């Protein structure tokens, strides 16, 4: 998320913690700040003034994550809005730090690939001419641009069709290694949100409903909605997890949650599970990034050499 958004949440949390009412706090941020931070505060204040809750106002604002709106809604219901906003800021800071670390790791393999494609065929500028060199660049960077456009079009298509989205998710989750990585990372975020909601004193059923509403993957949304229904039937959380198709295969999670449910420590175990699953997903991504240069450099070199030979043969003819 952008820096201004993080600072907006932090300013709002500080004002609320000092005892200022929500509407006055939003007006204060709008008056004291400039740019996007002020514009968002003013827009949210207008909606709160007309009777919206802060969670509803945030949910209707583009660019604000759905899970943040859910946490704001829970904070208003439990009277812990300032604490939950501070928790969001802490998570944003942690995510930013991890993104910087990931970017520093990704920069090296990307630089190797780009340099290999740009520098290796430079001799063609002398031997074959500029068009031969540009043909190789177009072949590589055009393919990259084409993949990016295809991904963008796919995302737009998935937003419009629930059936297509479900089929796509099933296909992605079935991919070895990559599917479990997506599942663990998504469930980790969901458990982290559950931990924060539990800390706010929200009932489990209401927490599951909020998590299901904010989940970005329909398989996860359906799983948490099924848990909510099973709790309404009178089952314990452990029993609800064991009877759900997705969670039933995760016996380790169920065992830890069973103990935490009996000990009244669900908030702690949800936060711990969320952190562990997200850390595991990041660790596996980091492993791929570390070995990526060793795998890609020979492939890029072979590709560029093949294109050089192909273009050279074409120009000789």
Determine the pLDDT at residue 49: 92
Are 115 and 177 in a shared domain? Answer: yes
Higher pLDDT, 292 or 238: 238
Alpha carbon 245 to its chain centroid, in Å, reads 24
Q: Which two tokens stand for residue 201?
A: 């004193």
Determine the pLDDT at residue 204: 83
Secondary structure (3-state) at 235? coil
Are 89 and 48 in a shared domain? Answer: no
Residue 238 has pLDDT above 60, yes or no: yes
Residue 315 has pLDDT above 60, yes or no: no
Are 60 and 72 in a shared domain? Answer: no
Higher pLDDT, 196 or 114: 196
Residue 247 has pLDDT above 80, yes or no: yes
Are 187 and 45 in a shared domain? Answer: no
Determine the pLDDT at residue 47: 92
Gyration radius of the chain's alpha carbons: 25
DSSP assignment, residue 64?
A: S
State mean pLDDT over 39-51. Answer: 91
Q: Which two tokens stand for residue 50?
A: 């007309």
- Domain end call among 42, 64, 86: 64
Query: Band of the pLDDT at 308, cuts 50, 70, 90?
Result: low
State mean pLDDT over 264-272. Answer: 90
- Residue % of the chain over a pLDDT of 70: 86
State mean pLDDT over 212-222. Answer: 82
Determine the pLDDT at residue 48: 92
Determine the pLDDT at residue 144: 78
Are 74 and 55 in a shared domain? Answer: no
How far, in Å, are 7, 27, 144, 210, 225 from residue 221 at the CA level?
A: 30, 35, 32, 10, 6
Are 202 and 295 in a shared domain? Answer: yes
> Which of 28, 25, 189, 9 is CA-nearest to residue 86?
9
Query: Band of the pLDDT at 16, cuts 50, 70, 90?
Result: very high
State mean pLDDT over 285-290. Answer: 72
- Domain end call among 45, 64, 83: 64
In this predicted model, what pLDDT tens digit does every residue of 65-77 receive, in sequence order? Answer: 888 888 888 888 8
DSSP notation for the chain: --HHHHHHHHHHHHHHHTT--HHHHHHHHHHH--HHHHHHHHHHHHHHHTT--HHHHHHTSTTS-HHHHHHHHHHHHHT-HHHHHHHHHHHHHHHHHHHHHHHHHHHHHHHHHHHHHHHGGGGHHHHT-HHHHHHHHHHHHHHHHHHHHHHHHHHHHHHH-HHHHHHHHHHHHTSTTHHHHHHHHHHHHHHHHHHHHHHTT--HHHHHHHHHHH-SSHHHHHHHHHHHHHHHTT--HHHHHHTSTTGGG-HHHHHHHHHHHHHT-HHHHHHHHHHHHHHHHHHHHHHHHHHHHHHHHHHHHHHHHHHHHHHHHHHH-
Are 38 and 135 in a shared domain? Answer: no
**Number of domains observed in the structure of the chain:** 2
Are 229 and 141 in a shared domain? Answer: yes
Are 39 and 180 in a shared domain? Answer: no
Residue 46 has pLDDT above 90, yes or no: yes
Are 32 and 54 in a shared domain? Answer: yes
Q: State the residue range of the domain holding 279.
A: 67-317
Q: Model-level pTM?
A: 0.72
- Domain end call among 19, 42, 64: 64
Are 99 and 16 in a shared domain? Answer: no
* Choice among 107-111, 147-151, 178-182, 265-269 with the minimum mean pLDDT: 107-111
In this predicted model, what pLDDT tens digit does every residue of 94-137 receive, in sequence order? Answer: 888 877 877 777 777 777 777 777 777 776 677 667 887 787 78
């Amino acid at each position: 998320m952008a820096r201004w958004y993080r600072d907006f949440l932090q300013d709002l949390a500080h004002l609320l913690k000092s005892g200022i009412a929500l509407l006055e706090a939003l007006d204060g941020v709008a008056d004291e700040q400039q740019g996007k931070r002020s514009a968002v505060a003013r827009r949210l204040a207008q909606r709160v003034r007309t009777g919206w809750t802060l969670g509803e106002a945030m949910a209707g604002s583009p660019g604000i994550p759905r899970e943040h709106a859910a946490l704001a809604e829970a904070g208003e219901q439990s009277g812990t809005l300032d604490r939950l906003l501070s928790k969001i800021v802490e998570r944003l800071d942690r995510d930013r730090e991890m993104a910087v670390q990931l970017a520093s790791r990704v920069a090296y393999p990307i630089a190797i690939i780009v340099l290999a494609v740009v520098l290796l065929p430079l001799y063609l500028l002398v031997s074959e001419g500029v068009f031969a060199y540009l043909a190789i660049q177009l072949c590589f960077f055009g393919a990259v641009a084409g993949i990016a456009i295809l991904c963008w079009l796919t995302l737009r298509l998935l937003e419009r069709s629930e059936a297509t989205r479900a089929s796509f998710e099933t296909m992605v989750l079935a991919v070895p290694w990559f599917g479990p990585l997506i599942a663990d990372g998504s469930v980790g975020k969901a458990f982290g949100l559950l931990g924060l909601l539990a800390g706010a004193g929200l009932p489990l059923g209401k927490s599951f409903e909020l998590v299901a509403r904010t989940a970005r993957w329909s398989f996860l949304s359906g799983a948490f909605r099924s848990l909510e229904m099973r709790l309404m039937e009178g089952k314990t959380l452990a029993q609800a997890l064991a009877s759900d198709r997705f969670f039933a295969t995760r016996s380790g999670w169920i065992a830890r949650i069973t103990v935490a449910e009996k000990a009244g420590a669900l908030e702690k175990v949800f936060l711990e599970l969320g952190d562990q699953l997200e850390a595991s997903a990041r660790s596996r991504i980091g492993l791929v990034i570390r070995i990526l240069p060793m795998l890609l450099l020979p492939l890029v070199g072979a590709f560029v050499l093949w294109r050089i030979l192909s273009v050279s043969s074409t120009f000789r003819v």
